[in-house]
């Protein structure tokens, strides 16, 4: 009898303990659920904030591009009123630089990741723009461009440097209406990116030939990119090779 009573107490205790555990478990689960919901909400807010930031930065790139195009149009209008051919040429070169910057911002505006700049897409756009503006349909383009992304912070320096190299090929290699072949290559080599522009023009000596603003700019911009630009040139043509450090995309 005593034994039976004792086991009764035992069972009641156990049931109570189980209920307590179940209650605590329910409390704990509710707490976990609430915390998960909070974290999910925070994550969604963060994602929204990031999305808004992306849209905003894209909008800025779009506006910068539009403003550069506007500056270009104003200067072109002004250029029409200038008679001095030397001045017209200088202004034309400056306009090409402004156009190249607009192409940089157009490429950045189209980038799905605001931190990255699509070198291949930019190069294709730049070559098409420069040849179209120069009215050169007689230059055959050999495309050896691979998909290469670099840090968006390097976009402007690279864009301006490549514009100088490309316009040099068009102006000096395919000069006087001389047709030819332009080879454009871009590739990644580990933590470096290499861009090559090759023409089959008369060549020049980059060491001794006089440097105007163009080549001085190329030197400065290459250093800014943490890289170098070197030329191989002969009477069969010139190839410039721009190589700089760039973190591969994550």
The site for Mg ion (CB under 5 A) is made up of: 168, 214
Residue 208: both structure tokens together:
């001794």
Q: Which does 172 bind (CB under 5 to 8 A by kind): Mg ion, ligand ATP, none?
A: ligand ATP
Distance between CA 204 and CA 108 in Å, rounded?
A: 34
- DSSP string of 64-79, one letter each residue: HHHHHHHHHHHHHHHH
For residue 198, the minimal CB distance to ligand ATP (Å) is 9
For residue 204, the minimal CB distance to ligand ATP (Å) is 4
Single residue of 50, 213, 223, 232 touching ligand ATP by CB under 6 A? 213
Distance between CA 209 and CA 186 in Å, rounded?
A: 27
For residue 141, the minimal CB distance to ligand ATP (Å) is 15
Residue 213 CB coordination number (10 Å) = 12
Distance between CA 56 and CA 36 in Å, rounded?
A: 30
Task: Read off the DSSP letter of residue 152.
Answer: G
- The residue with its CB nearest to ligand ATP is 214
Q: Could you tell me which stretch among 51-59, 115-123, 132-140, 209-217 binds ligand ATP (CB under 6 A)?
A: 209-217
Q: Could you tell me which stretch among 15-23, 123-131, 139-147, 200-208 binds ligand ATP (CB under 6 A)?
A: 200-208
For residue 207, the minimal CB distance to Mg ion (Å) is 16
Q: Could you tell me the end-to-end alpha-carbon distance of the chain, in angstroms, rounded to an integer? A: 75
Task: Read off the DSSP letter of residue 112.
Answer: S
Single residue of 121, 198, 201, 227 touching ligand ATP by CB under 6 A? 201
Q: Could you tell me which stretch among 75-83, 180-188, 197-205, 242-250 binds ligand ATP (CB under 6 A)?
A: 197-205
Q: According to the binding rule CB under 6 A, does residue 172 interact with ligand ATP?
A: yes
Residue 234 CB coordination number (10 Å) = 10
Task: Read off the DSSP letter of residue 38.
Answer: H
For residue 239, the minimal CB distance to ligand ATP (Å) is 9
Residue 8: both structure tokens together:
């009764």
Question: How many residues make contact with ligand ATP (CB under 6 A)?
Answer: 18
Burial 110-121 (b: 16+ CB within 10 A, else e): ebeebebbbbbb
For residue 179, the minimal CB distance to ligand ATP (Å) is 15
Residue 169 CB coordination number (10 Å) = 27
| Residues of this chain that bind ligand ATP (CB under 6 A) | 93, 164, 168-169, 171-173, 199, 201, 203-204, 209, 211-215, 238
């Amino acid at each position: 009898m005593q034994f039976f009573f004792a086991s009764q107490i035992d069972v009641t205790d156990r049931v109570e303990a189980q209920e307590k555990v179940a209650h605590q478990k329910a409390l704990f689960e509710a707490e976990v659920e609430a915390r998960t919901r909070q974290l999910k909400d925070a994550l969604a807010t963060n994602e929204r904030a990031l999305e808004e930031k992306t849209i905003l930065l894209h909008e800025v790139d779009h506006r910068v591009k539009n403003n550069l195009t506007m500056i270009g149009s104003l200067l072109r209008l002004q250029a029409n009123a200038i008679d001095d051919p030397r001045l017209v040429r200088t202004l034309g070169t400056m306009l090409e630089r402004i156009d190249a910057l607009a192409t940089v911002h157009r490429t950045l505006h189209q980038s799905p990741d605001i931190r990255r700049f699509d070198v291949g897409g930019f190069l294709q756009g730049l070559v098409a723009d420069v040849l179209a503006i120069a009215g050169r349909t007689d230059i055959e383009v050999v495309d050896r461009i691979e998909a290469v992304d670099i840090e968006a912070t390097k976009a402007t320096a690279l864009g301006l440097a490549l514009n100088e190299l490309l316009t040099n090929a068009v102006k000096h290699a395919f000069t006087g209406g001389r047709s030819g072949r332009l080879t454009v290559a871009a590739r990644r080599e580990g933590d470096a990116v290499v861009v090559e522009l090759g023409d089959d023009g008369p060549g020049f000596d980059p060491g001794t030939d006089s440097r105007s603003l163009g080549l001085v700019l190329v030197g400065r911009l290459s250093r800014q990119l943490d890289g170098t630009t070197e030329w191989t040139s002969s009477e069969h043509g010139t190839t410039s090779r721009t190589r700089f450090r760039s973190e591969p995309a994550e």
